[in-house]
Structure 1
Amino acid sequence: MAAKDDLGRAGEERAVAFLIGDGYRIIARNWRCPQGEIDIVAERDGTIVVVEVKTRRSDEYGHPFEAIDRRKAARLWRVAMAFLAQHRDLVRGLQLRIDAIAVIGADPATGRLEHLEDAL
Structure 2
Amino acid sequence: MKKYNKQKGDRGEAIAAQYLKEKGHVLRARNYRKATGEIDLISQAGETVVFTEVKLRTTDAYGTPAQAVDYRRQQRMIKTALWYLQENSLFDWNVRFDVVEISGAPDSGYSVNHIENAFLMEN
Q: Same fold (TM over 0.5)?
A: yes
- The percent of aligned pairs where both chains have the same amino acid is 31
Query: TM-score of the superposition, structure 1-length normalised?
Result: 0.92
How many residues were matched structurally? 118
Deviation at 1:38, TM superposition (A): 0.8
- Runs of 4+ that moved beyond 3 A: none
Deviation at 1:110, TM superposition (A): 2.9
For 2:92, the equivalent position in structure 1 comes to: 93
- Aligned residue runs from structure 1 range 1-16, under 5 A: 1-16=2-17
Aligned counterparts of 1:67 and 1:98: Cα–Cα separation in 2: 15
Query: TM-score of the superposition, structure 2-length normalised?
Result: 0.90
**Distance change >3 Å, CA 92–CA 74, structure 1 → 2:** closer
Deviation at 1:36, TM superposition (A): 1.1
- One-letter code aligned to 1:58: T
Larger RCO, structures 1/2 (Cα 8 Å, 6+ apart): 1
Aligned counterparts of 1:63 and 1:38: Cα–Cα separation in 2: 19
Consecutive unaligned residues of structure 1, counting only runs of 5 or more, are none
Give the CA RMSD over aligned residues. 1.6
